[in-house]
Structure 1
């Protein structure tokens, strides 16, 4: 790890990295699609320099703080959509069965999340979009969390929204809304057929216009080409999201992607760094699949390669590593956890 940090102060003779240093680090201008593709094509011998530059960009344009978040599934399984990566789709023979979390369970999950030092708690539901029952339960859950005196910001991820539903969430005090584009626009029809990339984009537009923070990312390793990874990075950059969660595919039993290979660690780190160089000021969050793809030490390398946010604990239907391990890692790296907003 020290080698990566030390390299951050060194100039490079690689023209791709030299351009990125001047454009992104010095001027704060993200790389365009062609430039991101060049970064993704860098050899493994350049990976330490690339990670070092991405870390320096993160420190300059975002600062040293790390946002810690926990997530919980309010409604699990039985989703009518056919997202090929998802074990919660009711269209595939996966082991996941439909279930609802009651309000006391939701409050306890929020309490445990806040106890880790996290400032963000995301309520997630496996649905195409929320119906009246789901929105009512979200409202009751938020009110119960506040009544319990739990100081934490509430985010939601409830699928595609109408304008009326966006307005309802704003009135509930939802701080941030997550709705992932998942992959490049050109690759999306190979991943989902029951709705379009454009429908997701429209939800994100309404969320942003309503004043909620936009959280939007995706999954790496779903059969996309390296060119499509570059395409995806700049499409996210054009959205100007507050946060980008980066997931790496966990091949789920019963889904069409159950036999897909796991992304190699070096490719995952190269992708993280490339996305940082495309979005120098955006919160870049380690999300699902990092343990499988990178192993226990991979998180540390990623935190020194452009990442400045992390999900602790479990990922809906997949286990993460214990939250304390990540908190200990941040302490070892001397990366302060972002404080709770004074406006909460």
Structure 2
């Protein structure tokens, strides 16, 4: 039987066809002594099918905490004892954050709200916020506001939202152990509406939540079937007071195998470093992931956890000679 890396070299690198579930499982089972070869192949795939540029994004929470959903990894759920209080930002704060994000060289600024889906108050604030940002700074505006109705999808597109984020979070088979207040299908349906509207879709998930290797591969396979423009890859950062607060950190070796597997599943997709990489991978692992398939980063802090300083990521990109994608090239 052909070695999994040789099959991937022929199918993904040469032909641009992503690996399917059985081969993704084989990648995730590779021995530690083969991780270097795996990352090198994933990097070659990224360079061949995406190019050398890295997309930089900043995010900010418009409405933090008090969410009615019970996503077991999330400290913003109002159902858990995690110490995050409900807070709203005003328009001036959003504009200032967008300007600071643009100053790092970022092309994307994402407005996030901890909600099941937006009500009219939130939609009005997003409407005003997007308009104010567009008038003040040259940057693409993305949103992540939970599950949407068809009318809300149409409105976000009409006001100029460039990209919408809505993660699958976990494989369909593992999802009921992660969330019980809504279904995987509901998330999938919102993602499909966004894709059909013409907005770019940003859709990823979390790994290291207790799922099996097979379910980790299943998530990559499901995302590949959805074909989002961008996949943010998060590593669980266990938050006190949440049901997953006592989960052990994912090993850096498993994290690197996962990065490579996602790249080999989706050779042409923007694969973005998102939450948890600082704890799971550290500085060395962050570097290895950028040389193993990742071609986008969130700079600065996340929604309720601290990230690396933007200068640290930008300096690393410069050291690795990875040019930052210019705004004009993302439009």
After TM superposition, the score normalised by the length of structure 1 is: 0.95
Output the aligned Cα RMSD.
1.1
Match of residue 296, structure 1, among 283, 291, 308 = 283
Secondary structure of the equivalent of 1:245? strand
Q: Is 1:312 aligned to 2:299, yes or no?
A: yes
Partner of 1:121: 109
Could you list the structure 1 runs, at least 4 aligned residues long, displaced by more than 6 angstroms after superposition: none
**Cα distance between partner residues in 2 of 1:306 and 1:223:** 24
Paired with 2:46 and 2:80, the residues of 1 have a C-alpha distance of 39
* Structure 2 partner of 1:247: 234
- The answer to whether 1:59 aligns with 2:47 is yes
Which one of the candidate residues 89, 92, 113 is aligned to 2:77?
89
What is the TM-score with the length of structure 2 in the denominator? 0.99
Corresponding residue for residue 226 of structure 1: 213
CA shift, 1:284, in A, is 0.3
1:37 aligned residue: 25
Q: 2:3 aligns with which of 15, 35, 58?
A: 15
Within 5 Å, give how 1:1-344 maps onto structure 2: 15-148=3-136, 150-341=137-328
Counterpart secondary structure, 1:186 = coil
Task: Encode CA deviations 1:80-105: one digit per residue, 9 max, x unaligned.
Answer: 00000000000000100000001100
Task: Number of aligned residue pairs: give it.
Answer: 331
- Aligned to 1:91, what secondary structure does the other structure show? coil
What's the CA shift for 1:143? 1.0
CA contact (8 A) 2:107 2:327 kept: yes
Any stretches of 5+ residues in structure 1 without a counterpart?
1-12
CA distance in 2, matches of 1:147, 1:339: 19
Q: Once the two structures are superposed, what CA deviation does each residue of 1:44-89 show, in whole Å capped at 9, x if it has no partner?
A: 0100000000000000000000000000000000000000000000
